Amino acid sequence: MSHVLSVRIPKSLHNQVRELAEEEGVSMNQFVMLALAEKVAALQAIGYLEERAKRGSREKLLAVLAKAPDVEPEDYDRI
């Protein structure tokens, strides 16, 4: 089901969106929908990571790191 959302934006932003949509080969509607979806996903990811961080602890991290072998990295992993 499709819903309509009317948004007033400055002419300069409208022009930028139109140009970018043309460069991407999509309609302005598609471009704005994708941009909005990306923003929503980013905000949801932040919320998810903040919740996960609350469950973590320094002690748990150190316990996991203690299991890692103390060896020199392979040549292809060196910086």
pTM of model > 0.75: no
Q: Which domain holds residue 28?
A: 11-69
For residue 36, the model assigns a pLDDT of 96
Q: Is the pLDDT of residue 1 over 80?
A: no
pLDDT tens digit string along 24-68?
Answer: 999 999 999 999 999 999 999 999 999 999 998 999 999 999 999
Query: CB under 8 Å to 30, separation ≥6 — which residues?
Result: 21
Q: Report the alpha-carbon angle 46-49-54, nearest 5.
A: 125
How large is the average pLDDT for residues 20-25? 97
Number of domains in the chain: 1
Structural domain contains residue 77: no
Give me the pLDDT at residue 2, please: 80
Residue 33 lies in a domain: yes
pLDDT band at residue 21 under the 50/70/90 scheme? very high
Residue ranges in the chain assigned as alpha helix (H): 11-24, 28-55, 58-66
